[in-house]
């Protein structure tokens, strides 16, 4: 039996639709990050304020990762993802309106960036958890690899496109493009008729689910090793 190719998950309609939509959404995200940093240089041109934009983006991921993962275990993941797309659309569109109208202030940019980061923190665990539902088990490594490909495509394209748009019309239009970029993911998720798994145990509470997750990591050496090494790699 031959192993699946690196591109075999793209033959699955659901995975292919989500992957293409995710590429578009990730491009919008990288465009947004570039525009937000540039906007802060216009509003408050100090290294501290510019660095706070990045801090506001990533801080919610650090603070909310554990409860967000528990939420993805307790509640319907498709519904969580749909809510996250709506949240992103509203917050990024709001930032676009405030920027184009000239109302935006540094503190507004930081608060909205925190809100967008909170949406990312809730979205990511649910997104990663649905991937095994979109492909057969033997294609899962290839599907995970294609997820990394999507991120790197967006990382290469997004900032360059954002730079062109910022030169032509300022950072405001970039935020609107990012808002529109989530609509593809929303559409694919909306059309997906996910079959809920039958619960064999009583519904778990958030706090107990978080404790169970920490306990699992503590007794899983391979996973613990990955978690310990990841911050060093990212840093």
Each domain of the chain, given as residue ranges in start order, spans 8-193, 201-235
Enumerate long-range contacts of 46-52, CB under 8 Å, 24 or more apart: 49/106, 52/110
Q: Which fold has domain 8-193?
A: Growth Hormone; Chain: A; (1.20.1250)
The number of beta carbons lying within 10 Å of the beta carbon of residue 62 is 11
| pLDDT for residue 199 | 58
Percentage of residues in the chain having pLDDT higher than 90? 74
**Tens digits of residue pLDDT in 155-211:** 999 999 999 999 999 999 999 999 999 999 999 999 998 776 655 556 678 788 788
Q: Are 1 and 67 in contact (CB under 8 A)?
A: no
User: What does the alpha-carbon distance between residue 6 and residue 26 come to, in Å, rounded to a whole number?
Assistant: 21
Residue carrying the six token digits 């909306």: 190
| pLDDT for residue 225 | 78
| pLDDT for residue 179 | 96
**Tens digits of residue pLDDT in 108-148:** 999 999 999 999 999 999 999 999 999 999 999 999 999 99
Q: Are 155 and 22 in contact (CB under 8 A)?
A: no
Cα separation of the two ends of the chain: 40
Structure pTM? 0.88
User: What does the alpha-carbon distance between residue 165 and residue 167 come to, in Å, rounded to a whole number?
Assistant: 5
């Amino acid at each position: 039996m031959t192993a699946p190719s690196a591109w075999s998950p793209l033959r699955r309609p659901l995975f292919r639709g989500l992957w293409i939509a995710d590429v578009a959404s990730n491009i919008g995200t990288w465009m947004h990050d570039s525009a937000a940093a540039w906007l802060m240089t216009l509003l408050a041109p100090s290294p501290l304020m510019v660095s706070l934009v990045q801090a506001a983006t990533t801080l919610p991921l650090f603070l909310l990762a554990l409860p967000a993962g528990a939420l993805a275990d307790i509640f319907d993941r498709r519904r969580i993802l749909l809510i996250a797309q709506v949240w992103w659309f509203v917050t990024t569109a709001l930032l676009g309106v405030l920027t184009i109208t000239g109302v935006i202030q540094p503190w507004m940019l930081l608060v909205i960036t925190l809100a967008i980061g909170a949406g990312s923190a809730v979205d990511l665990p649910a997104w990663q958890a649905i991937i095994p539902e979109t492909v057969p088990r033997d294609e899962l490594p290839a599907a995970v690899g294609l997820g990394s490909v999507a991120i790197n495509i967006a990382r290469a394209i997004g900032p360059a496109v954002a730079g062109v748009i910022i030169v032509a019309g300022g950072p405001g239009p970039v935020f609107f493009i990012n808002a529109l970029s989530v609509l593809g993911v929303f559409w694919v998720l909306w059309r997906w008729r996910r079959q809920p798994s039958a619960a064999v145990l009583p519904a778990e509470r958030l706090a107990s689910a978080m404790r169970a997750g920490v306990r699992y990591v503590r007794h899983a050496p391979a996973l613990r090793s990955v978690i310990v090494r990841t911050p060093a790699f990212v840093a």
